[in-house]
Amino acid sequence: MKCLVFGATGTVGSRVAHHLIAAGSRPSVFVRDAIKAREMFGDQVDIHIGDLEAPGFTLPAALDGVDGIFLLTDGPNLHEHDRAISAAAYQAGVAHIVKLSTLDVLTGIGTGPWHAAGELAIRESGVPFTFIQAAGFMSNALGWSHLIRNEGILRFSTGEGKIAFIHPSDIAAVAATALLTRENDGRALVITGPEALSYREMAATIGRTIGKSIDVEEISDQQARANAVRWAGEGPYVDALVDIWRAVRQGRLDTVTDGVRQAIGREPISFAQWASENAASFE
Ligand SMILES: NC(=O)c1ccc[n+]([C@@H]2O[C@H](COP(=O)([O-])OP(=O)(O)OC[C@H]3O[C@@H](n4cnc5c(N)ncnc54)[C@H](OP(=O)(O)O)[C@@H]3O)[C@@H](O)[C@H]2O)c1
C-alpha cells in the first residue's frame, strides 16, 4: 500500500511516516524541505517537494499510484487546501484520506470551524475518509519550556478547568492504523488522552519529573492574549488560542473518550509519561 503523508516534517506527520515505515511500507512525503525530510527518514521514503501556499502548486506527480493520504493542513484557510487536495485525490483514484482534524469541530471552539470546513470539503470530494478529531496535544506544553527553565513560573487563563491532552504518538498510531486497515472509513474518531487535567496539574507533573517547583499564576484573557501575541503575532491563530483557553476555564473542553483504545486496542499514553520523555526540554 502506498501512502502520501502531508506535514511529514512536523510533530504528528513525522510519527505517521515512521509508523508506516515500521509496518513495512515505503511512504511518500510531501514536504517543503527535502534535506530536512532526508535527515528524518533517510532513504526510507519517496520525497515530493511542494509548498501548499505557493501559487499554482500541483499534486498529480505526488498522487500517482497513491492509495491513502495522511492529510495535515493548518490555518484559517485550511479548507481550501483540503478541497484542492481531496479533489486532486479523487481525480487520481486515491482510495482513502485520513485527515488530522480537531475535537473542537464538535464544539465550534478555537480552530474547530476551520477543520469543520475542511472536513466538509473532503466529504464533498467523494474520496472515502477518516477524520481524526484529536484533543489538544501534550506537545503544546513544550511552549512552556522557556518559562519553566528561566523563571520557574507559568501564567495561564485556564483557571481550574481541565483538558485531556493527547500524546502525538497516539494520534499518529490511530492515523496510521486507519490508513493501513481501512477499518474506520467514513468515521470521525474522537480521541483524547487518558484523563482531563488542569494546567496547574500538568505544570506540577512536569515539576515532579524534573525535580523543580513550578509556580502557576492566574491571568486574564487579555493578558493571555498579549502574551500569545508576543510569540505568535496578531491574527486568527491567537484569537483561536484565547478562545480555547477560555473554554477550558469554563469546563467545556474536559471531554475524555476511549477513542484511542477503540482504534488501536491499547490505552492512551499518560501526561506523566510524556513529561518524562520530554524532561530534557524543561531542565
Ligand atoms: N496543537 C493542538 O493542540 C492541536 C489539537 C488538535 C488538532 N490540531 C491540528 O494539528 C495540526 C498541526 O499538527 P502538528 O502539530 O503535527 O503540526 P506541526 O508540527 O506544526 O507541523 C506542520 C507540518 O506542516 C508542514 N507545512 C506547513 N506549512 C506548509 C505548506 N505551506 N506546505 C507544505 N507543508 C507545510 C510543516 O513543514 P515544515 O517542516 O516545512 O515547516 C510541517 O511538516 C493542525 O491541523 C492543527 O489544527 C492541533
Which CATH number covers residue 188?
3.40.50.720
Q: How many domains does the chain have?
A: 1
Q: Which atom of ligand 1 is nearest to the CA of 136?
A: 3
User: What spacing in Å lies between the alpha carbon of 105 and ligand 1's midpoint?
Assistant: 17
Tell me, yes or no, whether 56 lies in a domain: yes
Cβ(59)–Cβ(87) under 8 Å? no
User: What spacing in Å lies between the alpha carbon of 237 and ligand 1's midpoint?
Assistant: 13
Tell me, yes or no, whether 129 lies in a domain: yes
Q: Which residue, judged by its Cα, is nearest atom 40 of ligand 1?
A: 32
Tell me, yes or no, whether 213 lies in a domain: no
Tell me, yes or no, whether 96 lies in a domain: yes
List CB contacts of 186: < 8 A, sequence separation 6 or more: 128, 129, 130
User: What spacing in Å lies between the alpha carbon of 37 and ligand 1's midpoint?
Assistant: 15
- Which domain range does residue 30 map to? 3-135+166-192+255-268
Q: Tens digit of pLDDT per residue, the chain (283 long)?
A: 999 999 999 999 999 999 999 999 999 999 999 999 999 999 999 999 999 998 777 888 999 999 999 999 999 999 999 999 999 999 999 999 999 999 999 999 999 999 999 999 999 999 999 999 999 999 999 999 999 999 999 999 999 999 999 999 999 999 999 999 999 999 999 999 999 999 999 999 999 999 999 999 999 999 999 999 999 999 999 999 999 999 999 999 999 999 999 999 999 999 999 999 999 999 9
Q: Which residue, judged by its Cα, is nearest atom 8 of ligand 1?
A: 102
As a whole number of angstroms, the distance between CA 101 and CA 79 comes to: 11
Provide the residue type at 45 as one letter: V
* Ligand 1 residue neighbourhood (C-beta within 6 Å): 7-13, 32-33, 36, 51-53, 72-74, 100, 102, 111, 134, 136-137, 140
Tell me, yes or no, whether 55 lies in a domain: yes
Ramachandran angles phi, psi of 104, nearest 5°: -70, -5
Tell me, yes or no, whether 46 lies in a domain: yes
